[in-house]
Structure 1
Amino acid sequence: MTQVVDELARRLAPGTLPSPPEHGDTLDHARRQALVRLRILTGVKEALRHLEDQAARAAADGGAGYPEIGQAMRMSRQGARRRWPGLITNSTPRPNHRPTYRSS
């Protein structure tokens, strides 16, 4: 996953910088490239967080609780609850689990 995001950042970065100087300060250009890449990665992180929020809401709407959401996020139940307070409520639809009775 890290390689995919790194490749995305590298592909987005060149279009945001002017061409490197022919006879200039290449260190300054390298610094600008690193800063642009950092800005792009910050945007990717924000987008991922937004997508995580959407996925957590969809999981909760589908009946998942904080323990399952936390496990999917590699965090504790408490960590998931802190990240998404109020996500799981009494009004969150849960699948109907009705016991099956057998007649004897």
Structure 2
Amino acid sequence: MSVLPETLPCYRDTRPESDLFNKAPLRDELEAIRQEIGASSLEQVVYAWVMRLPSKPLPIIGSGKTHRITEAAGAAGLTLSRQQWFRIRKAALGYDVP
């Protein structure tokens, strides 16, 4: 006997399908913030964003390539403001925090 309910609530993205894979707004926002904080790559900005999540996760790099490890380590010295963090979130999801 399962302890889970028959139907679980699930999130459905209501954006048109053509918008679901349009990552240009996210890329543009990451680039703008990269310049603002002096990051060397978009990768560093993404690591900095993940490390600023309220749950305080530690990213797993998953690569043995030296340049990838260096980029990830460099993100530890970057600081995103709350506004920058929410700008990235909005660009990724396509809508602001309600």
- Relative to the length of structure 2, the TM-score reads 0.30
- Relative to the length of structure 1, the TM-score reads 0.29
RCO comparison, higher one (Cα < 8 Å, 6+) = 2
Q: Which has the larger radius of gyration?
A: 1
More helix by share: 1
